[in-house]
A and B are shown apart, each in its own frame.
Chain A
Amino acid sequence: MDKSIKEIHEALINGEVTSDELVKEALRKSHEVEDKYNAFVTILDEAEAKEVNSSFVSGIPFGVKDNYSTKDVLSTGSSNTLKNYVPFYTATVVQKLLDAGAIMVNKTALDEFGMGGSGTTCHTGPVLNPWDKTRMCAGSSAGSACAVASGVYPFALGSDTGDSIRKPAAYCGIVGYKPTYGMLSRYGLFPFASSLDHCGVLTRSVLDAAIVTDIMKGKDVHDMTSWDSSNIHLQEALTGNVEGKKLFYIKEICDINNYPNASDTLKEHLNNFFKTLDLLKTKKAVVQEVSVDVKLLKAIASVYVVISCAEATSNMSNLTGIIFGPRSNKKDVFEMMKEHRTLGFSPLIKRRFVIGSYVLQKENQERYFKNAQRVRRLIVDKMKELFKEYDALILPVASGPAKKLDEDKDVIDANTNVLEEHLQIGNFGGFPSITIPNGFINSLPVGINITGNCYDDENVLNIAYTLEGLMPYKGQIAKERER
């Protein structure tokens, strides 16, 4: 289970291992990882082996973030409001993997409904980082990242509204990919902020991300924002040739001079970033520095908060406990709803709902919500303008490796704000975006991100694939560091 999908597939075909053995191993590891890092909401002990066929994922176990609807399997969104919710339909992307013969062995923990970046606000408690238990995995796809990094299986589904796949991937030393908005159907993904929500996958190699996405993608009659991607073939696009490709990084984010009180960690992180760029240049790719108005960059976090909270407060209005979720015993129906929500949601979510309601109010909407949408448009337009000239944007993920569990992620450090939040650009524009590991700082993994223009997933993945091949981190399994 610590091998790549293709290696496991070949082993299955050659009879070196059976699907049944893989399922047993994945379940055994699931319990181990659950005990150590608290990564799961549900472990499906009754999961059964499947027939191996021509599909690479057939007979292979995988994990699903618990905000995907899975028929007959508890799906909580890591929230008390749905702690007993067993859906009767399966999300499109999960169904496609099941149809291809993959075996779902667990449902992974997340920040409640994906609203959080630490992996610590799950109703089952915080998910610990498999490289260092005193640190967070980042979120919200914390359980999926933790499990893949720990070698429970080669891939798990995540979802990404701000950076919820790509940041945990970096903190856990693995690959996290969210394709262009609409390439993967969102039908069955519990919504956080519909215009920003993406499905995606966490793996230990770019090729694995391509394999899994090739299976999941496609137009879905249940999701009007999905589109026909039948002319996109991600695996075939991984040639390892990036000659003449032009990439840019943003000076206002990457230049150490932007951070007067930079910590040694930050210095090392950025230094490592530039070393990685040098590797790419050896493959005859062009990497250039581009300056972007710092005002736009500094607005990213606020734009994200306003839009995501606004959509979230509406999207989660269905959680009243009347139809599903624990129902209150109050006599009055409004009291019922109130109690369900008061007891069900964590304080962090409630705070976001208040913000969301506030910015949508008639008297505030123009000033906050509409303006946030306008700034979102400005940021996306700026990126699209740059993507005319460049093939992709390349940036370091976050300000370093995984943070300590007690470092509250919701408190934004003004200094490194832009470094921490820039991945949200990918959600604003629906851009394809992938994080891969690019080294270690104090024995903790760090990541680098590549983002391209919409529908240019093949190109983005090929650049990531090429770069991955130049570094020794592909397929790495987390080892708890000596402390």
Chain B
Amino acid sequence: MKKQIAVIGLEMHCEMKSNSKVFSPAKNAYSEIPNTNIAPLDMAFPGTLPVVNKECVRKALMMSIALNCKQPRYLVFDRKNYYYPDLPKGYQITQMNNPIGVDGKIDIEVNDKILPVYIHDIHLEEDSASLDHFFTTSNIDYNRSGVPLLELVTEPCFHSADEAIAFLEHIIRIYRYCDISDADTKKGQIRCDVNVSIKDEDTHELGTKVEVKNVNSLSGVRDTILYEIKRQTELKEAGKYDEVEQETRRWDEDSSSTIRMRSKVDAIDYKYFVEPNIPKWKITDEWLEEIKASIPRLHLERKLDYINNYGLSSYDAENLVKEKDISDYFEECLRLGLDAKSAVNWITTQIMGYLNKNSISIHDFYLTPKRLKDLIDATNKGLISSKQAKEIFEKVIVEKKEIKDYISKDNAQISNSLELTKIIEEILANNPSQIEEYKNGRTNIFDYFVGQVMKQTRGKANPVMTKEILTEKLK
């Protein structure tokens, strides 16, 4: 059999961050207590109407711009009609014909190579309620009903699980960088539908597409893709490719396999039509410009910048851009004139270690870039040793003081050679007999001189320099 190529497309749902839900005034927040964050619309009480949350639209447009999509002139929503117990209105308000973004393209990095990914569309919609199934009953929690959701649909442009995962990680990072979503898979904020088909290496003709719905973790996406490629390839090898049907399946964690839900023939007709309760809303160029200007520099651009212009290793650069706050911290250090390499050393070892250990955010971190600069500067000037720097690092955070408070004249090292020479010359002038003894072979007298210097400087003389100067003077 010819070599098989996998063709993969993703539909990625992401719950957005916002104060209120996308069409209702209820709080958009996760709650353990069911049915606490709800407004009448979220349970579809008769006569309730949707009111569009402008902040959600702004964030959706931001993502659309970040993905280099085209934005529509007017904001329009559609109804997707179907009956399901988690859908109280009997329809979902979504965007079918005029999504918030179409025809996008974005470069991602897969194993240190750049891969272009094509975006079919991205649209703004509402989440459904969540269901808890028990033996004989099911509970409905409407907290999630109406939570803003962005659905991103890629073209079938991935050929491996690695590529698909790299893409998802890339997008999750953009969501976080733009503060559109926490994109936390553990909270179910990211959910994917995965489309997989296989084809012969030398053809453009696509194979039969299988859709796997509701894959809720990155590892699940990886497992799904690997499983489907294997399943489809084995069937093809066995000459039973006609058993691969255009169908919808779901990922079953327990059995680590995909399970058939329905054939494409039984696909639901969602009877889409324009939502009449939301008037057409003009998206102005000014607004788009304003949104565009608010998008921060994204992680891949930053990473390449750090590598190419600041000489960082790919490893260090990657560590810095994983989180925008860390990267911002680093860039602030650069702005303050800190050397990139010393900054990255401090950040990736001392600082990130401390943040992780104490589970605090860099936002609440006492050692601001300015204070880090003071610390590094003091070390570079030899005012403190690097060992002392580490001690001061710990102290300053606890005691909430400034770096200079730890390098006051009293406790700073005397590393000025002129100053030290002067002190040493004085001591030598006052001890002619000891010099005599030293020169006669009592070399342990050397330590006496060091002791005198330390006594004179109350221990602050730089010991290395003191020894060097003494050796020179005693020759």
**Footprint of B on A, CB under 8 Å?**
68-69, 75, 77, 82, 85, 87-89, 91, 186-191, 193-195, 221-225, 310-311, 313-314, 316-320, 322-324, 333-334, 337, 357, 360-362, 365, 369
Which residues in window 74-88 of B have CB below 8 A to A?
79, 81, 83, 85, 88
Decide yes or no: A318 and B90 within 8 Å by CB, A224-B52, A225-B277 being known contacts: yes
Q: B269, A89: Cβ atoms under 8 Å?
A: no
A314 surroundings in chain B (CB, below 8 A): 79, 81, 90-91, 271, 273
Q: How far is the CA of A89 from the CA of B39 in the complex (A)?
A: 11
Most buried by A among B43, B88, B269, B276: B276
A337 touches B83 (CB 8 A): yes
Whether B273 and A187, one on each chain, are in contact in the complex, defined by CB atoms closer than 8 angstroms, is no
Which residues does chain B contribute within 8 Å of A186, judged by CB atoms? 47, 49
Known: A225-B277, A317-B91, A361-B271. A82 touches B46 (CB 8 A): yes
Q: Which B-chain residue is minimally distant from A87 (CB atoms)?
A: B45
CB distance from A323 to the nearest CB of B (A): 5
Cβ–Cβ < 8 Å partners of A222 in chain B: 48-49, 51
Contact of A369 among B43, B48, B273, B276 (CB under 8 A): B273
Q: Least Cβ distance of B119 to chain A in Å?
A: 25
Compute how far the CA of A313 lies from the CA of B276 in the bound complex, rounded to whole angstroms.
13
Q: How far is the CA of A193 from the CA of B273 in the complex (A)?
A: 13
| B278 within 8 A of partner (CB) | yes
Say whether B273 contacts A191, CB under 8 Å: no
Report the Cα distance A194→B91, complex, angstroms: 14
CB distance from B373 to the nearest CB of A (A): 49
Secondary structure type dominating chain A contacts: loop
The smallest beta-carbon distance between B98 and chain A, in angstroms, is: 15
B residues near A225, Cβ cutoff 8 Å: 277, 279
Hey, which chain B residues are within 8 Å of A187, CB to CB? 47-49
A310–B81 Cα distance when bound, in Å, is: 11
* CB < 8 Å neighbour of B46 from A193, A318, A369: A318
Q: Which residues of B are at the interface with A, using a C-beta cutoff of 8 A?
A: 40, 43-52, 79, 81, 83, 85, 88-91, 138, 140, 269, 271, 273, 276-279
- The residue of chain B having its C-beta at the shortest distance from the C-beta of A225 within the complex is B279
Q: Which of A91, A191, A361 has the most CB of B within 10 A?
A: A191
Residues in A with CB closer than 8 Å to B88 are 318, 322-323
Residues from chain B with Cβ under 8 Å of A320 in the complex: 83, 85, 90
Task: List the B side residues contacting A195 at CB < 8 Å.
Answer: 276
Assembled-state Cα–Cα distance A361/B270 (Å): 8
A340 CB to nearest chain B CB (Å): 11
Residues of B within 8 Å of A316, CB to CB, are 90
Evaluate whether A224 and B49 lie within 8 angstroms (CB atoms) in the complex, with A317-B89, A318-B44, A360-B81 already known: yes
Residues of A within 8 A of B273 (CB): 310-311, 314, 360, 365, 369
A311 to B78, CA, bound (A): 12
Out of A88, A190, A194, name the residue touching B276 (CB < 8 Å). A194
Task: Tell me if A323 and B43 are in contact (CB < 8 A).
Answer: yes
Q: How far is the CB of B24 from chain A (nearest CB, A)?
A: 10
CA distance A361 to B10 in the complex (A): 27
User: In the complex, A419→B251 CA distance in Å?
Assistant: 59
B279 in contact with A224 (CB, 8 Å): yes
Tell which of A68, A195, A224 has the most Cβ of chain B within 10 Å.
Answer: A224
Could you tell me if A194 and B89 are in contact, using CB atoms closer than 8 angstroms? no
Partner of B81, one of A82, A189, A317: A317
**Residue from B45, B138, B140, B279 with most neighbouring chain A CB atoms (10 Å):** B45
Minimal Cβ-Cβ distance residue in A for B82: A317
Q: Are B49 and A223 in contact (CB under 8 A)?
A: yes
- The one of B85, B276, B279 in contact with A333, judged by C-beta atoms closer than 8 angstroms, is B85
CB-CB under 8 A from B90, the residues of chain A are 314, 316-318, 320
* CB-defined contacts of B85 to chain A, threshold 8 Å: 320, 322, 333
User: How far in angstroms is the closest Cβ of chain B from A77?
Assistant: 7
Q: A320-B90, A361-B269 are in contact. Are A190 and B47 (CB under 8 A)?
A: yes
B51 touches A224 (CB 8 A): yes
Q: Which B residues touch A85, using CB under 8 A? A: 46
Tell me whether A360 and B276 are in contact (CB under 8 A): no
List the B residue with the shortest CB-CB distance to A336: B85
**Contact sample, A vs B, 20 pairs, CB 8 Å cutoff:** A69-B46, A87-B47, A187-B47, A188-B48, A190-B47, A222-B48, A223-B277, A225-B277, A314-B79, A314-B81, A317-B83, A318-B44, A318-B46, A318-B88, A323-B44, A324-B45, A324-B46, A337-B83, A360-B81, A362-B269
